[in-house]
Amino acid sequence: MLYISLSSPTPRSYLPKPFSLSTNKLRFHVFSKNQFSGGGNYTSPEEPVVTPEGLRRELMPKHVAVIMDGNRRWARSQRLTPQAGYLAGAAALKLVMDLCRKWGIQVLTVFAFSTDNLLRPKIEVDPLLGIFGSKIKDEIAYMERENIRLSIMGDVSKLPQSLREVITHAENTTKNNSRLNLVIAINYSGRYDIVQACQSICQKVKDGEVESEEINEFMIDNELCMKLMGLPDPDLLIRTSGEVRVSNFFLWQLAYTELYFTETLWPDFGEDELLRALHVFQQRPRRYGV
């Protein structure tokens, strides 16, 4: 049985310190603390939020996470190349991103590449990374125009230097945008996210910043990528293509997230599917416990 004391002593380093990429031990890439950590309304006054018919504004999720699955199966069904499937998936992402922006969803996180994906043969991975980089470059102007911030989460050290430069440029260019935060998880592992949080806390214990008795779930939570970026945990997780698992994505952060699975392949996921997922979400009573 897990026992959690609500009267645990307040740890001396309860709040996360600014994250630096110059650490000796490899940790996930997070850009910076962002504007969503304090709550509030970040909608541009020029374009008011539109609430789709049948949905309630006050019940809209603040953070939607998506496992974009089914690109290659879609391509096979269309007798197209895998690359064509990923291009179609990129188009679906842009549509969903635009809908989230219009409907007032503050954060959209998508699982683009897991650490396992990047272990696939180089002949398969390199073209996908090329598509990823070219699409980011192509959409920077759009994100600037539509007030969308791009953030990347994951271990970018394994990515090609040219792609890392594109990521840095895109993040810097869009860092002051506030209508929607698009978070792309690339070379991300939910297990490693927890491991690196534990390693960070162990180092703080070693340095005398924290007593071992002070360690609790809140301290661990604050050392995970999500909180280091100042983001709320997902309210809704959507997975496409009929797979019913989370595949090492946000293992800690999904503790109280509503899960929605659909048979639709990701390139076919559009407005009707997103509306259906949001309707299901709003019909579920949110409970924090059994």
Residues with a catalytic annotation lie at 69
CA distance 200 to 41: 33
Beta bridge pairs of residue 188 = 114
CA distance 188 to 114: 5
Assign residue 83 a region (left: φ > 0; alpha: ψ between -120 and 50; beta: otherwise): alpha
Q: How many helices (H) and strands (E) does the chain have?
A: 8, 6
Three-state DSSP class for residue 49: coil
Q: Which amino acid is at 205?
A: V
Question: How many Cα atoms are found within 13 Å in the side-chain-facing hemisphere of 204?
Answer: 23
Q: Taking CA 145 as the corner, what is the angle to CA 141 and CA 151, rounded to the nearest 5 degrees?
A: 70
What is the residue-wise DSSP string for 203-236?
HHHHTTSS-GGG--HHHHHHTSHHHHTTPPPPSE
Say how far apart CA 118 and CA 258 lie, in whole Å: 28
Alpha-carbon span 175 to 198, nearest angstrom: 28
